[in-house]
Each structure stands twice: as structure tokens, then as C-alpha cells.
Amino acid sequence: MTQAWLKRPPSADLARQFRATFNRNVMEFWSAITGFDLVAFDATLKTPEGVSMWEHIVARHGNDAATLVERLKAL
């Protein structure tokens, strides 16, 4: 039996979209306790100083990529 407070991993569809978009496995940034780790993900993006992670994602990968990250954050 799983604990109710544990975060379920993203669906296979979201995982595929993440890999296709960022060429990384979403589970590298997933914690069963906290969910999607934005800090670790931002570090791999190498977001320039003074630019928000969201602006950087949109500029490099497009609006769909930013929406994907928002969906992961909401899980």
C-alpha cells in the first residue's frame, strides 16, 4: 500500500513529452515526496543570470515546453 502523501510519478505520456522536449529523463528531477524539482531542473537548463527560468524555456524550447513544465509542477 502506498502512502497517500507520496507523489505519483508523471504519466508515461508526460515522461515521453519531457524526453522529446528536453532530451532528459523526467525521473532525474522527480521526488516521491516533493514532486518535480524545479531547482535541479533549472540548474541543468543553465538559465542565464537575470532571466527567469520560464523565459529561458520559452526562448529555447517554446511555449509548449513551458506548459509541460507547468503541468509537471502541478502534479
Q: What does the pLDDT read at residue 73?
A: 94
Whether residue 4 lies inside any domain: the answer is no
Q: Which regions in the chain score pLDDT beneath 50?
A: none
Q: What is the pTM of this model?
A: 0.87
Total domains, the chain: 1
Q: What does the pLDDT read at residue 8?
A: 87
Q: Could you tell me where the beta strands, DSSP code E, fall in the chain?
A: 30-31, 35-36
The cell numbers describing 44, all together, are 541543468
Q: What does the pLDDT read at residue 60?
A: 96
Q: What does the pLDDT read at residue 64?
A: 98
Of 49, 68, 39, the residue nearest 28 (C-alpha): 39
Q: What does the pLDDT read at residue 7?
A: 86
Q: What does the pLDDT read at residue 6?
A: 85
Whether residue 16 lies inside any domain: the answer is yes
Domain that holds residue 50: 12-74
Q: Does residue 60 sit in helix, strand or coil?
A: helix
Whether residue 7 lies inside any domain: the answer is no
Whether residue 52 lies inside any domain: the answer is yes
